[in-house]
Amino acid sequence: MARLTHSPGSDGPGLRTLVRAGVLLAVALVIVGIAFHYGFVAYTRLRPVKVSAAEHELEVDRPGRTVRHGASSLTRRGDLWTLRLEGPPADIGAAHGALAGRLFHQIDARVSDLVAAHRGGSIDAWAALTGLRWQFHEADKVLDDARRRELAALAAALPLAGPGALDAYHRLFLYQCFDELAIEYDALVVEGLAFASTPRRAPDGTTSNMVIGRSFTLEVGPGFSPDRVVSFYYPDGKYPFVSIGWAGLVGVVTGINARGLFVALNPARTDDPPEDGQPIALVLRTVLEEADTLDQAIELLRAASLRTGGAVLIADGPARKAAVLELSTRPKEERRPTRGDGDALLWATDHLTSEVFERDANNDRIRRYTGSGSRYDRLGELLGRAPVDVARAAAILRDRSGVGDTELGLGNRNALDHLQLAHAVIIDATAMVMWVNEGPSAVGRFRAYDLRHWLTRERERPAPPDDLPADRLLHGEEFADFEEAEEALEHARALYAEKRLDHARNAARVALALAPDLGPLHRLLGDIERERGEPEEALRHYRRYLELHPGQLRDQERVRGLIAELGG
């Protein structure tokens, strides 16, 4: 019988063909992937407009405290930086970058470290960056030409902390959306509070001045606070104004213009998704540049296209009127003042109070589970106790007690001053005098600025009243213990990250002895004890953390989940 034979080498060409085809397919997929990646990057990149700004050599005065760039300058006064920016948009942006570049570099480096720590591995980081690119693609197209020119000139002059995955202009635009980024990154904390006393006419016909108090929190991870920058803007063809913030901020979170119109932004979080609008801080800048009455400011805000929302306190010093406008990306007809008409006292924190947001789940969580609700109630208590003058406003901003005068430990997020404030400001909007705290938090001295000199130029020389002295806490043992406890907490965190649990526990116990009511410390001790196999001790610290509830919503939810895992 004939036998069919099979040669061992007969499949050789076919196998080689399959291997070759597989390799070619893999190469093709890699090429397509690379092409798609670069195409996606090109499509989602924010491109600056071409600008040409006046070139100037930096001039430094003999003491080294003032640096000039043409008509603009930067001066250090104690622990405050006073930035003066003058001219057309491109010149203002270029001067901002040239003068405040070092201060911005520190913030940029810190944010870069925060993002790297938050996202972990390269795959997570790549996915997060891809999502961020898509979320903000073409987001700058809604800005007017003047703002885009200023941002472009600023980006060209700013030194970044390393090349990074985003170019300077792209990254700088994202920094203007700090309230939106805080939703993505737990370690970025953005909070605010503001109040205004709108005096009523006395029987003899006299009326006292309008006094405003304001504090704002911008935490870029533990142990870091951006330098406080008081920026005076003199834009061509616009009202001069002052903005209190940090280097690289082009928008306004706290500011007043030459007409005595004040604005303050408290970022809010609602169920409404971000829209293709302007960052709200940039809209507030437009208000200061263009509005000279309360009604004009309200109309500008109601008509604006917004990315996100917030509670905005607006005050008209000369008219002695104020209002709180609660904004979101909902239909513009829902944007109307919630308080102000006939109210002698106004205040706002980080949640919205109008009926429109009664069933908003995110807004309700902010009110109940962060310090916003407690701080709102505490403001109402304090404002109702006595007339609000400048000294009273300082005492309110420095208040560290809870509702009903409950004693809180230093650093508690329910307190008006939780010792993490990025700035604290008092303004007599009728007399046009401003006091800015030089830190730390609201504990330090309040430096006085004569706004009639700085903004209206009614006086050739400034004639401000006296500075307000530092809080007695600043030089006491309690505050020194608190600062040492925070340093010990950071040391314990570093040891815990290295899985040196016993050493981390010892460092944390030192911090606990110094500051027994420091909320983040109880969270860390709970984590340490859980990993050491001590569930009862872990539960004790986790429960204490939630009693203090000083953290963000996500932190609280994680701790509740850990308590459930431990059977608590």
Q: Are 218 and 190 in contact (CB under 8 A)?
A: yes
Flag whether 205 is in a domain: yes
Whether residue 393 has pLDDT greater than 70 = yes
User: 498: domain CATH number?
Assistant: 1.25.40.10
At residue 552, the pLDDT reads: 67
Whether residue 1 has pLDDT greater than 50: no
Q: What is the pLDDT of residue 224?
A: 82
Question: What's the pLDDT tens digit per position in 153-175?
Answer: 999 998 654 555 678 899 899 99
The last residue of one of the domains, among 437, 471, 505, is 471
Q: Express each pLDDT in 218-237 by its tens digit.
A: 988 777 889 999 999 999 99
Asked if residue 115 is part of any domain, the answer here is: no
Q: Which is more confident, 442 or 32?
A: 442
Residue 58 belongs to some domain of the structure:
no
pLDDT tens profile 68-120: 999 999 999 989 999 999 999 999 999 999 999 999 999 988 888 777 776 65
Instruction: Annotate 274-298 with three-state secondary structure.
Output: CCCCECHHHHHHHHHHHCCCHHHHH
pLDDT of residue 468: 97
pLDDT tens digits, 243-287: 999 999 999 999 999 999 999 999 998 888 878 889 999 999 999
User: How high is the pLDDT of residue 296?
Assistant: 96
Q: Which residue has better confidence, 74 or 183?
A: 74
> Residue 103: which residues within 8 A CB-CB, separation 6 or more?
81, 226, 227, 229, 246, 247
166 in any annotated domain: no
pLDDT confidence tier of residue 564, bands split at 50, 70 and 90? very high
Tell me which residue of 255, 258, 249, 201 sits closest to 226, measured CA to CA: 249
Per-residue tokens: 70: 């043409």
- The answer to whether 252 touches 301, Cβ cutoff 8 Å, is no
3-state secondary structure 511-555: HHHHCCCCHHHHHHHHHHHHHCCCHHHHHHHHHHHHHHCCCCHHH
Interval 436-460 mean pLDDT: 91
Q: Name the strands in the sheet holding 241-245, side by side, starting at the edge strand that comes first in the sequence.
A: 59-60, 66-69, 72-77, 80-87, 228-235, 241-245, 254-257, 261-267, 310-316, 321-327, 337-339
What per-residue confidence (pLDDT) applies to 81? 97
* More reliable by pLDDT, 33 or 423: 423
Q: Is the domain of 362 the same as that of 412?
A: yes
Residue 506 within any structural domain of the chain: yes
Q: Which domain does 529 fall in, by range? A: 477-565
Cβ pair 298, 340 in contact under 8 A: no
Same domain, 440 and 486: no
pLDDT at 161: 47
388 and 509 in a single domain? The answer is: no
| Structural domain count, the chain | 2
pLDDT for position 119: 61
Cβ contacts of 542 within 8 Å, gap of 6 or more: 522, 523, 526, 559, 562, 563, 566, 568
Higher pLDDT, 468 or 52: 468
Q: Are residues 466 and 481 in the same domain?
A: no
**Following DSSP, what letter does each residue of 398-452 receive, concatenated?**
T--B-GGG-B--TT-TTSS--S--SEEEEEETTTTEEEEE-SSTTTS-EEEEEHI
pLDDT in tens, 332-356: 656 667 777 778 899 999 999 988 8
Can you give the pLDDT at residue 349? 97
Say whether pLDDT at 10 is over 70: no
Tell me, what's the pLDDT at 334?
Answer: 63
CA distance 116 to 359: 36
Question: Rounded distance, CA 422 to CA 414, Å?
Answer: 16
Q: Answer whether 290's CB lies under 8 Å from 304's CB.
A: no
Determine, yes or no, domain membership for 39.
no
- pLDDT average, residue stretch 553-562: 84
Q: Mean pLDDT score of the chain, rounded to an integer?
A: 87
What is the model's pLDDT at position 176?
A: 93
On whether residue 10 sits in a domain, the answer given is no
Categorize the per-residue pLDDT at 451 as very low, low, confident or very high, splitting at 50, 70 and 90: very high
| Residue 79 confidence (pLDDT) | 92
Please report the pLDDT score of residue 4 as a whole number: 47
Between 460 and 101, residue with greater pLDDT? 101
Same domain, 271 and 356: yes
> How far apart (Å, rounded) are the C-alpha atoms in residues 261 and 289?
10
341, 239: one domain? yes
528 and 383, same domain (yes or no): no
- Residue 365 belongs to some domain of the structure: yes
Query: Is the same domain home to 510 and 463?
Result: no
- pTM score: 0.88
Q: Which residue has the higher pLDDT, 423 or 159?
A: 423
Same domain, 514 and 424: no
Three-class SS of 357-384: HCCCHHHHHHHHHCCHHHHHHHHHHHHC
Q: Considering the chain, what percentage of its residues have pLDDT values greater than 70?
A: 88
Domain end, chosen from 471, 503, 530, is at 471
Are both 302 and 365 inside the same structural domain? yes
Final residue in a domain of this structure, among 438, 471, 504 = 471
Q: Check whether residue 244 and residue 278 sit in a common domain.
A: yes
- Domain with residue 236: its CATH number is 3.60.60.10
Residue 36's pLDDT band, with cuts at 50, 70 and 90, is low
First to last CA, the chain: 82
pLDDT exceeds 90 at position 54 = no
The predicted pLDDT at position 185 comes to: 72
What's residue 492's pLDDT? Answer: 96
User: Residues 384, 495: one domain?
Assistant: no
Rounded to whole angstroms, the Cα distance separating 321 from 421 reads 27
- DSSP single-letter state for residue 268: -
314 closest CA partner among 283, 333, 289, 340: 340
